[in-house]
């Protein structure tokens, strides 16, 4: 199925690879995923994710950052973090939220709309 074949108003479950391809600018799938997510943003589709998808996207981000920073191959990241937990501290996690509870965490910089 092509993006043009998805009817407006369709309910679409968005898997982690779609978000990851968009965020990473994947050379093959990045553009198509970006266009799809722009359609979601415009309200053309009713999209859904679950906590597993969000967890996978976060893990993919951690993998890409540790590869970029330390050259750790993505398939070895979990093993290396278990061996050396301080590696997770190398990853920059900026936080965007409108939840005032996060302001109590001193090491988090909070952007609020």
Q: With 80 as the cut, is the pLDDT of residue 101 above it?
A: no
Query: Are 69 and 40 members of one domain?
Result: no
56-97 pLDDT per residue, tens: 999 999 999 999 999 999 999 999 999 998 898 888 876 766
Query: Are 79 and 107 members of one domain?
Result: yes
pLDDT-derived band of residue 108, with 50, 70 and 90 as boundaries? low
**Residue 108 structural domain:** 51-113
**Alpha helices (H) in 1-113, listed in sequence order:** 16-24, 30-41, 51-70, 77-83
Distance CA 77, CA 83 (A): 10
In a domain? residue 35 = yes
Q: What is the pTM of this model?
A: 0.73
In a domain? residue 76 = yes
């Amino acid at each position: 199925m092509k993006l043009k074949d998805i009817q407006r108003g369709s309910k679409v479950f968005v898997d982690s690879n779609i978000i990851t391809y968009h965020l990473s600018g994947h050379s093959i799938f990045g553009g198509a995923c970006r266009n799809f997510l722009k359609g979601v943003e415009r309200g053309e589709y009713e999209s859904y994710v679950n906590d597993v998808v969000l967890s996978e996207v976060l893990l993919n981000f951690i993998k890409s950052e540790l590869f970029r920073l330390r050259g750790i191959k993505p398939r070895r990241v979990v093993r290396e973090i278990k061996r050396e937990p301080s590696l997770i501290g190398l990853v920059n996690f900026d936080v965007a939220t409108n939840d005032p509870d996060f302001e109590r965490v001193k090491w988090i910089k909070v952007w609020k709309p």
